[in-house]
Amino acid sequence: VCFPSGWDPAAKIGRDFAAIHAPVADAELLRASALALSRALTTQGPFVRFVWTVAPDGARSRHPADAPAPGDAPAPWFRCERQVSLPMPPGAAGDAAAALFLIRLLLAPLADAAHTPVRLATLRAALDSMSPATLAYKGLDARLDALRRWLDARAAG
pLDDT of amino acid 85: 94
What's the CA gap between 84 and 69, in Å, rounded? Answer: 32
pLDDT of amino acid 72: 56
pLDDT of amino acid 33: 93
pLDDT of amino acid 93: 67
Question: Phi and psi of 40, rounded to 5°?
Answer: -65, -45
Over its length of 157 residues, how does the chain's per-residue pLDDT go in tens digits? Answer: 888 888 888 999 988 888 999 899 999 998 899 999 999 999 998 999 999 999 988 989 888 888 765 555 668 999 999 999 999 987 766 777 889 999 999 999 999 999 999 999 999 999 999 999 999 998 899 889 999 999 999 999 7
3-state secondary structure 44-97: CCCEEEEEEEEECCCCCCCCHHHCCCCCCCCCCEEEEEEEEEEECCCCCCCCCC
Q: pTM of the entire structure?
A: 0.83
**Cis bond before residue 46 (omega within 30° of 0):** yes
